[in-house]
Amino acid sequence: MNGPEIHIEFAPELGLFVPHARRAEVTPVGTDGSSTLGHVVESLGVPLTEVGALVVDGREVPFSHIPAAGESVRVRAVERPQRVPGAPLRFLLDVHLGTLARRMRLLGVDTAYESTDIGDPALAARSASERRVLLSRDRGLLRRRELWAGGFVYSTQPDDQLRDVLGRFAPELKPWTRCTACNGLLRTATKEQVADQLESGTERSYDVFAQCSECGRAYWKGAHHDRLETVVERALAEFGS
């Protein structure tokens, strides 16, 4: 770029996204004189979903700000907990985050999930139409303009992913209220209502059941309950209100 040169500094939390040489100091960046500051930041590798504020010469500016020669820019990371205005807090996860989606549903967080790859345009469009926060590890997806809101998932490990999302967005936790398969709400069910889904001997071992109001799947305290209860208790201890 042959336009005005600015000086830019990234918050340490954003070091993952930028080249190593830009992680620890103020560095010069050439601009084209017409691109917005938001575009410049994205061109350097940082999705705007991860930016909390842009500060130019000590004052906060919008992403639409056009940089001028000699400006000093500080790129801040999002504050935690991050507030998402304008809609009930709901999420949409891409195809690579199935385990995280199930754990969020286990905690009662409204979490849509695409189990097949429907493509970035369709995911971004669904985020906008349903006003859901799109979670992904795909930086390109998080840069799509039609996205309503989004967040980068920093870890590849489900435990760390869940802790990151709960710490960043602070959703209300209502464990055991959503279907982990489809995200539908659970309701109390009688043994007779779910009899066709019970395994041999289950009807003699359990008396308390729940059923999804949308897909009809039945739930009871089976062999995996203790493991799931550990996930719930850990989340409530750290992030419950």
Convert the pLDDT of each residue in 149-170 to its tens digit.
999 999 999 999 999 999 999 9
- Does residue 152 fall inside a structural domain? yes
Q: Given a cut of 80, is residue 200 above it in pLDDT? A: no
User: How crowded is residue 26: how many other Cβ atoms within 10 Å of its Cβ?
Assistant: 14
Q: Are 52 and 22 in contact (CB under 8 A)?
A: no
Residue 101 has φ and ψ, to the nearest 5°, of: -60, -45
Same domain, 105 and 48: no
User: How crowded is residue 62: how many other Cβ atoms within 10 Å of its Cβ?
Assistant: 10
Each residue's pLDDT tens digit, 79-116? 999 999 888 999 999 999 999 999 999 999 999 998 78
Structural domain count of the chain? 2
Overall pTM > 0.85: yes
Axis-axis angle for helices 158-169, 225-239 (nearest 10): 30
Last residue of a domain, one of 17, 43, 77: 77
**Mean pLDDT, residues 33-57 taken together:** 96
Name the percent of the chain lying above pLDDT 70: 96
Last residue of a domain, one of 20, 55, 77: 77
Query: CA angle at residue 47 from 133 to 117, to 5 degrees?
Result: 55
Q: Given a cut of 70, is residue 205 above it in pLDDT? A: no
Q: Given a cut of 70, is residue 208 above it in pLDDT? A: yes
The strand pair at 133-136 and 91-93 is best described as parallel
Residue 173 has φ and ψ, to the nearest 5°, of: -100, 125
Q: Given a cut of 90, is residue 52 above it in pLDDT? A: yes
CA 213 from centre of chain: 25
Return mean pLDDT, the chain: 92
Same domain, 43 and 113: no
